[in-house]
Amino acid sequence: MTATVIDGKAFAAKVRGQVGEHVARLKEEQGIKPGLAVVLVGEDPASQVYVRSKGKMTVEVGMASFTHRLAADTSEADLLTMIDQLNADPAVHGILVQLPLPGHLDSDLVINRIDPAKDVDGFHISNVGLLGTGQKSMVPCTPLGCLMMLRDHHGSLSGLHAVVVGRSNIVGKPMAQLLLGDSCTVTIAHSRTKDLPGMVKQADIVVAAVGRPQMIPGDWIKEGATIIDVGINRIDKPDGGTRLVGDVDYDSCAAVAGAITPVPGGVGPMTIACLLANTVTACCRAHGLSEPEGLTA
Ligand code: NDP
């Protein structure tokens, strides 16, 4: 079997298009312009790239983008004051604090200072609790993007066995909650899981969120399974230079799977698209308006 390639780049462009249409309607019919504020502390090069690209795409879909760049030695009190100001600002519907923060800042304290209704990353403890209890919440962007691609590919996920490899708070755990919400039977695997190959072999859906390049080979995969590869790992090429690979060994997995997301061009582009989707959702909720269909969990 040769797997269908789930094209996250094209899917993300479609999602951004839907967001853009909704933003245009909000402006035309309600006179409201959704706004996303991104706070970057310090000069981590990867974070700077992410923040620039988030700002650019926010503007492209017609939303207001507010980027706040703070010095690496910004005090916790000053950062919290900035978040309080953004919480109170009616032009800001979504707030994202770019992680990781410099070591002297308490990430949990900072994230939990964001108004949960504006927490478009879905990391606030209230949103984690709401998602865990099946209530309306802001959903973390990467797992939301994975869910959208799975729903699009399968239609109903009900009764499918999903194995999520990785139990982080930003990917593995919320992914498992979302799959449970769609009535999958869910197994969460991690570094202490016994017989990981045997566990993965049972899966109709494999979500790999490990952070280890090409760790999952094709002979762990059940014939026809769907693979969502969240991993982004940079490895050396034999002839010099580097390239990006996922957490699954693409070629051997694609030979067995029914469908697979590539790296790059799979989950990655969906993450920013879902951030924009969450911002427009937050804006609609803030104004008591109906939410855009298909852009939330
Ligand atoms: P974390 O490092 O926070 O979590 C990794 C998880 O993988 C842990 O639960 C860990 O288990 C588990 N793990 C590690 N080694 C093994 C192993 N040998 N066997 C089984 N499980 C193992 O990573 P994240 O969840 O933040 O990210 C995962 C990957 O996804 C990374 O490559 C990251 O770059 C990528 N990513 C991509 C995004 C995108 O937009 N596409 C967004 C976010 C992340 P344990 O808990 O036991 O240590």
Q: What is the DSSP letter of 29?
A: I
Q: Is the CA virtual torsion 187, 210, 51, 119 positive or negative?
A: positive
pLDDT, tens digit, 9 for 90 and up, residues 127-152: 999 999 999 999 999 999 999 999 99
Residues 6+ apart with CB under 8 A from 124: 111, 112, 114, 116, 138
C-alpha to C-alpha distance for 92 and 221, rounded to whole angstroms: 44
Q: Is the CB of 196 under 6 A from ligand 1?
A: yes
Beta carbon of 187 within 6 Å of any ligand 1 atom: no
User: Whose C-alpha lies nearest to ligand 1, atom 8?
Assistant: 166
Looking at the predicted structure, is the pLDDT value of residue 56 above 90?
yes
Q: Is the pLDDT of residue 1 over 90?
A: no
Please, which residues have CB within 8 angstroms of residue 286's CB and are 6 or more apart in sequence? 93, 117, 118
Atom of ligand 1 nearest to the CA of 165: 21
Mean pLDDT computed over 150-168: 98
Cβ(276)–Cβ(19) under 8 Å?
Answer: yes
| pLDDT over 90 (residue 120) | yes
Residue 2's pLDDT is what? Answer: 87
Q: How far apart are CA 54 and CA 48, in angstroms?
A: 10
Average pLDDT over residues 100-114: 97
Q: Which two tokens stand for residue 163?
A: 């194995």
Of 122, 127, 80, 131, whose CA–CA distance to 101 is shortest? 80
Residue ranges per structural domain of the chain? 30-119, 141-268
Q: Which is nearest to 145 in space by CA: 286, 282, 278?
A: 278
Q: How far is the CA of 92 from the centre of ligand 1 (A)?
A: 31
Q: Which residues are catalytic?
A: 54, 98, 121
Question: Is 211 near ligand 1, meaning CB less than 6 Å away?
Answer: yes
Per residue in 180-220, pLDDT tens?
Answer: 999 999 999 999 999 999 999 999 999 999 999 999 999 99
Residue 257 one-letter amino acid: A
Please tell me the distance from the alpha carbon of residue 157 to that of residue 142, in angstroms, as a whole number. 18
Q: Give yes or no for a contact between 245 and 213, defined as CB atoms under 8 angstroms apart.
A: yes
Please report which confidence band the pLDDT of residue 271 belongs to, taking 50, 70 and 90 as the band edges.
Answer: very high
Judge whether residue 77 has pLDDT over 80. Answer: yes
- Tokens 């693979």 locate to 227
Pocket test for ligand 1, best of 141, 171, 263, 271 (most atoms within 8 A of CB): 171
In CATH, what number does 141-268 get? 3.40.50.720
If you ran DSSP here, which 8-state letter would residue 121 be given?
A: T
Ligand 1 atom closest to the Cα of residue 192 is 47
- pLDDT by residue (tens digit) across 219-263? 999 999 999 999 999 999 999 999 999 999 999 999 999 999 999
CATH number, domain 30-119, options 3.40.50.10860, 3.40.50.150, 3.40.50.720, 3.30.1550.10? 3.40.50.10860
For residues 175 and 164, the answer to whether their CB atoms sit within 8 Å is yes
The two three-digit tokens of residue 112, written as one number: 């939990």
Six token digits for residue 20: 């853009």
What residue's CA is closest to ligand 1, atom 40? 268
CA atoms lying within 13 Å on the CB side of residue 162: 30
Instruction: Locate 221 and state its tokens.
Output: 């995969």
- CA 76 to chain centroid, in Å, comes to 26
What's the mean pLDDT when you consider all of the chain?
97
From the CA of 247, give the closest atom in ligand 1: 32
